[in-house]
Structure 1
Amino acid sequence: MTPEDAVRHVVGTNPTFAVHEVVVRGVTLKAFKNIPPTVPGLLAAGWAQHGDGTLEYLAYEDEALTYADFTRAVYRMAHAMRDELGVRQGDRVAIAMRNYPELLTLLLAISSIGGVVVFVNAWWTTEELDYALRDSEAKIVFADGPRMERLEPLQAELGLTLVGVRDAEGRGAHDFTTLQQAARSEVAPDVAIDTDDDFAVMYSSGTTGHPKGVVQTHRGAVNAVFSWLMQSFVAPLVTPPDPGAPEPLRPSVLVVTPLFHVTATHPLFLLSLPAGAKITLMRKWDAEQAVRLIRDNYITRFLGVPTQSAELMQAARRMGERLPTLDYLGSGGAKRPGAQVAQLAEAFPNAGIATGWGMTETNALGIGMIGDDYIARPESAGKLHPPVQELRMLDDAGIDVPPGQIGEITVKSPANMRCYLNKPEATAEVLQDGWLRTGDLGVLDADGYVTILDRKKNIIIRGGENIACLDVEGALHRHPDVLEAAAFPVPDDRLGEVVGAAVQLKTGATLTQADMAAFLQEHIASFKIPAHLWVQHDVLDRGATDKIDRRAIRTACLDNQKVKV
């Protein structure tokens, strides 16, 4: 079948993927009709796919949990949070830690009692944590050791209840382990959660300097999950397996990107529940360790930023490994260099090399492709994932542009965010009659493939991390010798982009890159600190409206027209 025929067949014959029209906040949308209405409903929906709970589900270093173990842990923590911490429906509860198994338990436990998960970037400084916690009004924070240290100065002023996890146990008002032991039940809490209730707040860098809290609903998350799940039913209709081919391995996922980003939470963790997939967490990215984990644990699915795909390939070559169990090698968070696609296909011949484009604002749902399509179009982002999304390419006036012309990628689906938290003007700017104006510019061809060309937003994507130029500039302006600053992306072979900055200094002042980095450590996360610095005493270039001309400044700096330190 063609992909389009296969989608129609699955939607028309498999009740799980039946689609109907719904009205959400006054907007008519296409949505799945028979899927679980909420995120915690995914846990029960996956029971049979995980051997009625008997299969190993979650692995981390030398720890392992069956699906039944994990389910009990989720429900015990849900009851403990309600009974011991007083969490009620609609309360926002923050999670601040590295990729520990407890993070996954907490995500489902919070949502099981109708709470709203606030994902905190584990790299943020105390200053950045302060902003997010004030903005979200989360009063309970589960944190590991490094995050606990940064949160403690905020505890009294913000009235926080800090709960220690792993190396932070004994430092907060409560401990994760003690709460679980105090739980009075390990069955699903009886809470009526509406599909359009808020599920989570995820912070995404924007052009306003401070990150924006993207409010995701249960409907949005589960519709995204089942859009991806449907691909596993469509694929064998498009490319049937060879006669006599062995049964495919059980899906098994290696999580290598932070779980406070949609790339890891949604198409990996949340999808693993109904897909019957095992989850393996890495404590810290290490390419050779990733090769060993994939080889020894029969991992089938890898999704990381392009840098990680490239490093995995290099490590596998050094180690003489072909990783035959890999059937999916995806990229998210940033665009993979086109030249890398064929190299990955040669290095991992059993894997479908894939690319994807999505946003925090779309619950990661968006555009993608895999295999021969991608090899033939390595610069493209792919096609819109069916069947609940709609796509338009718009000019600045909101008018559709024809195929082949540059337009702003604009999507409509139940997976779109509800709003930006506490930012009605920013919400109204991007959400219009259910259509989300993404800020990404691209071209749609006659066959439905989208090629992304540029970003309207002033965002630097460093190894999949979005960095707002204004966020960096705001921190630079705190330096007593800096009069003005402009941040911009600088190409980098490993990370795709890193942060560069040009600054105007006070007369007679000097500033080295090392001094600047040391100063910024207290104000912004380390990944946001400029790797390259250009200094001058003249005013920075300005445009016709007397605003800083970031593009002209960047060009001058990269062309060595200005002094780099």
Structure 2
Amino acid sequence: MHTDGSGWQTRLGPDMAARYAGDGRWQNIPLAESAGQCARDYPDRTAVADDSGGLTFQQLWNQALRLAATLRDHGLQPGSVVSFQLPNWRETLVINLACAIGRFVCNPIVPIYRDAELSFILANSKARVLFIPDRFRSIDYLEMIQRLRPNLPHLEHVVLVRAEADGVASYASWVDRPAPLEPFTRADPDAVKLLLYTSGTTGNPKGVLHSHNTLRAEVQAVTDFWGLSRDDVLLMPSPVTHITGYLYALELPFLQGTKTVLMERWEASAALDAIQRHQASFSIGATPFLVELVAEVDRRGIQLPSLRLYGSGGAPVPPEVVKRAYAVLPNCKTFRIYGSSEAPTISLGIAQGDPAEWGAKTDGLIFNHEVRIVDPASGVPLATGLAGEITARGPEVMLGYTDPSDTEAAFDADGYFHTGDLGYIDENGYITVTGRMKDLIIRGGENISPKEIEDLLHQHPAIQEAAVVAFPHARMGETPCAYVVLRPGRELDFPGLLAYLESARLARQKFPERMFVVDDLPRTATGKVLKHVLKARAATEDCQDAPRLLAQA
């Protein structure tokens, strides 16, 4: 393990740096350098637009420089963690760039997270600053952080964005200041820049570490493969607190001056209007976004001539969804992409054959990664066409997790990251993902840990045992389904279950949308719950044929 200048432990070593810098895939250009160049070359060009306004590259640079100075004035050092839990607002680009300028570590946090998730992330990351809205949708963020703050000794500053409150710092006041006189030191391109938490089946999220070099390698690969230029316009409906939104909305614009249009919340009609208004040429989003956009275009009976690329991933993308997109949007190349926070976009789309056919049947061409399919039990590489665990190595793969033991467990001796996903590679280099080794539920692109829900259910006084599995959902791809065994003489209905989870302050997107009360759970001889049996049962049991089914989404 390597320790960078700020104390972060990563897997970066001299051989790894020499390999990727030597072949040019690590360009050793920190984000602040690219952003400053864009401000000089395209000062009046719009960098980002959202529902309430926009910023030019010069305005964005000026605000980020001032915010970086304020953070420095408040005692932050290189490597200090700056968190934000915000919707897709243009201020997120300023915060991310300010972190790059000041050599701080940026930590985006998903807006739907509530007490349990937020407290863990802030404590684990030792974040010193947190940017939040006052309220967004139904969540009172200020009230939530005030509940949690007594147990977060490292959190020194909470900053309200687009709001003000007595005794709380405001984003506007932190940005509205004279330009700093003292220059900032150039960032080490191999230093940790991004800390992004991703939920797994073990319950607590894992902190993923990326550097300037790994992030730039990713957006450079996308730019090259898709043939993007500064004349392209990105519509970003995915949260910028996810790896997809973060990479393409907060990092990619500075590669060559590309404009980004942010959507605060997803609505198909609003997305269509934004594409027309801004002449958006490409977009990346989860399956529900593509399904609903295509339906809205079809309903209106119009064309979107500017939209030429749409990459879909984050949740299973049925072949019929891609085929339907080509039927309704014949000028738009639609394709599935595959990746994760740890190894972004292992595949990037279609480069040969009929785009509609290949886009529907595969997850795309492997690009900028070395991928091995290995036997899950032995780790031995498998022949072309055989399904096994997907492992990947490349310049975009993370530097590691915050916990070095997690890093050691995730990589093999050759430096390949073990994704936990199952799939195969065909003779043309296209990858198809067939499933997941773990039980992760992916709801509209959001990873949900069954164990996290199970742990809460097991605390309910009426529940003796619980198992949570994925249940197919037409719009979201998957949603949680709970199987519970009740204690003798106890009762529990579905509204009671939901009320309990609400009182536990679990994010509502993680609430089960189906619940079965059963006498026992199917198990192996060693006592392990057979979740694949429960998952198959949940997908096939009919409401009318299941008298003990208490609720259905």
Q: Structure 1 length as normaliser, TM-score?
A: 0.88
One-letter amino acid matched to 1:102? E
Q: Does 1:46 align with 2:22?
A: no
On the 8 A contact 1:202/1:215 being kept in 2, the answer is: yes
The residue number in structure 2 matching 1:315 is: 296
On the 8 A contact 2:65/2:179 being kept in 1, the answer is: no
The residue number in structure 2 matching 1:5 is: none
The residue number in structure 2 matching 1:199 is: 193
The residue number in structure 1 matching 2:493 is: 512
Equivalent residue runs for 1:288-367 within 5 Å: 288-362=269-343, 364-367=344-347
Cα 1:559–1:55 shift into 2, 3 Å: closer
The correspondence for 2:130, drawn from 120, 130, 141, is 141
Q: CA RMSD in A?
A: 2.2
Q: Does 1:91 align with 2:80?
A: yes
Q: Does 1:174 align with 2:154?
A: no
Residue 373 of structure 1 deviates from its aligned partner by: 4.6
On the 8 A contact 2:291/2:321 being kept in 1, the answer is: yes
Residue 559 of structure 1 deviates from its aligned partner by: 4.0
Q: Distance in 2 between matches of 1:466 and 1:330?
A: 19
Q: Distance in 1 between matches of 2:166 and 2:48?
A: 27
Local SS of the residue matching 1:285: coil
On the 8 A contact 2:162/2:171 being kept in 1, the answer is: no
The correspondence for 2:156, drawn from 153, 161, 180, is 161
Q: Distance in 2 between matches of 1:439 and 1:92?
A: 29
On the 8 A contact 2:311/2:349 being kept in 1, the answer is: no
On the 8 A contact 1:80/1:184 being kept in 2, the answer is: no
On the 8 A contact 1:148/1:164 being kept in 2, the answer is: no
Q: Does 1:525 align with 2:507?
A: yes
Identity %: 28
The residue number in structure 1 matching 2:5 is: none
Q: Distance in 2 between matches of 1:383 and 1:512?
A: 47
On the 8 A contact 1:534/1:562 being kept in 2, the answer is: no
The residue number in structure 2 matching 1:392 is: 372
Residue 414 of structure 1 deviates from its aligned partner by: 2.1
Q: Does 1:81 align with 2:76?
A: no
Equivalent residue runs for 1:248-327 within 5 Å: 250-327=231-308
One-letter amino acid matched to 1:357? Y
The residue number in structure 2 matching 1:8 is: none
On the 8 A contact 1:36/1:45 being kept in 2, the answer is: no
Structure 1 regions of 5+ residues with no counterpart?
1-21, 236-247
1:47-106 superposed Cα distances (whole Å, 9 cap, x missing partner): 46xx521112211124121111111111111111111x2111011111111111111110
The residue number in structure 2 matching 1:67 is: 57
Local SS of the residue matching 2:88: coil
Which 4+ residue blocks in structure 1 deviate beyond 6 angstroms? Answer: none
Residue 230 of structure 1 deviates from its aligned partner by: 1.6
On the 8 A contact 1:202/1:360 being kept in 2, the answer is: yes
With 224-233 and 160-169 compared, the bigger mean Cα shift is at: 160-169
Local SS of the residue matching 1:94: strand
Q: Distance in 2 between matches of 1:403 and 1:414?
A: 23
Q: Does 1:425 align with 2:405?
A: yes
The residue number in structure 2 matching 1:222 is: 216
Cα 1:281–1:151 shift into 2, 3 Å: same
Residue 563 of structure 1 deviates from its aligned partner by: 2.5
Local SS of the residue matching 1:68: helix
On the 8 A contact 2:481/2:513 being kept in 1, the answer is: yes
Cα 1:350–1:491 shift into 2, 3 Å: same
The residue number in structure 2 matching 1:369 is: 349
On the 8 A contact 1:485/1:501 being kept in 2, the answer is: yes
Cα 1:365–1:342 shift into 2, 3 Å: closer
One-letter amino acid matched to 1:68? Q
The residue number in structure 1 matching 2:180 is: 185
The correspondence for 1:539, drawn from 484, 501, 520, is 520
Local SS of the residue matching 2:338: strand
On the 8 A contact 1:163/1:176 being kept in 2, the answer is: no
One-letter amino acid matched to 1:380? T
The residue number in structure 2 matching 1:563 is: 548
Local SS of the residue matching 2:342: helix
Q: Distance in 2 between matches of 1:486 and 1:327?
A: 43
Cα 1:34–1:450 shift into 2, 3 Å: closer
One-letter amino acid matched to 2:85? A
One-letter amino acid matched to 1:180? V
The correspondence for 2:110, drawn from 89, 112, 121, is 121
